[in-house]
Amino acid sequence: MPVTHITTPPTFSNPVSQACSQAQFDTPEFQFWCREVREPFRYHRKLWEYCYLLQVLSHSGMMAPGRKGVGFGVGRETSVAVLAARGVQVTATDLDMDSAQQEWVLTGQHAGSLADLNERWICPPDTFSNLVDFRVQDMNNISPDLSGYDFAWSLCAFEHLGSIEKGLAFVKNSLNCIKPGGLLVHTTELNCFSNDETLDNGPIVIFRRQDFEKLASELAAAGHEVTLNFTLGDDDLDRYVDVAPYTDRRHLRLSLGGQVTTSFGFVVRKAQA
């Protein structure tokens, strides 16, 4: 199966593997998911990642009673509660407290219990406790019993696995978690301008277009479905590069380690049996 490439600006209503851009924020669908995750509207790439995940799952028919999903490195994602409120059974996973980066724990980005995942009361507590379970999981060594799910996801997590090679391996390994015809949705870092020099090892890496194209080709050769759109936005905030200390309302592209990066969503439909 060949990889499909799209060269027109990405849409938010019908998302594929694509980068964050300003125009996607200015849509009814994006603003709907902002309300659902109980976040104030702002032009921030992390908010885009939350809303992108939910739009992909909703558009693909995965957000329905009886569906099962597994999330990796979930931190305190409100997406878990949004899914449970719609009847989806969720296994939420994260590192154990000893292995979690100290910054994530101190800044409240790490989940230590189920209660952390429904702290905004998005889902009725009884429903949440019936549908969601939490377990410790190392993304570099996925437990084989994490299988049989309709979809799997991670938000801004697999760039922290130590290298580009390990991050791409995680995406391929996470296919083992889902059923034939199931869906992967992972967001991570995309190098906006360099397809060569990048951050490729360490606590955070930045993936290049060539990395996603190579991964997509390997997955497509195995029968999986991938559609790529690397078209970047050209509105005012798409051209603005945030620098540390980062802002909260103009944060679509940022300078990191001498590179310019933005969020990229990667979607894979697993081959049918």
- Cα gap 9→6, rounded to integer Å: 8
CA angle, residues 207, 140, 201, in degrees to nearest 5:
40
What is the pLDDT, as a whole number, of residue 1? Answer: 77
Can you state the percent helix, strand and coil of the chain, rounding each to 5?
30, 25, 40
The CATH number that applies at residue 120 is 3.40.50.150
What is the pLDDT, as a whole number, of residue 156? Answer: 95
pLDDT in tens, 130-166: 999 999 999 999 999 999 999 999 999 999 999 999 9
- Cα gap 267→226, rounded to integer Å: 7
Q: What letter represents residue 129's amino acid?
A: S
What is the pLDDT, as a whole number, of residue 97? Answer: 61
pLDDT in tens, 6-48: 999 999 999 999 999 999 999 999 999 999 999 999 999 999 9
**Among candidate residues 3, 20, 88, the one with its CA nearest the CA of residue 268:** 3
CA angle, residues 206, 268, 99, in degrees to nearest 5:
50
Structural domain for 56, as ranges: 4-269
> Do the beta carbons of residue 233 and residue 9 sit within 8 Å?
yes
Place of tokens 């620098």: 243
Instruction: Find the distance separating the first CA and the last CA of the chain, reported in whole Å.
Output: 14
Q: Is 148 left (phi over 0), alpha (psi -120 to 50) or beta?
A: left
SS3 196: coil
Torsion of CA 113, 117, 122, 128, to 10 degrees: -50
Q: What is the mean pLDDT of the chain?
A: 94
Domain count, the chain: 1
- Residue 175 pLDDT > 80, yes or no? yes
List all residues 6 or more positions away from 247 whose beta carbon is below 8 Å from its beta carbon.
Answer: none
Tokens of 169: 């391996």
Mark out the alpha helices in 164-208 (DSSP H runs). Answer: 164-174
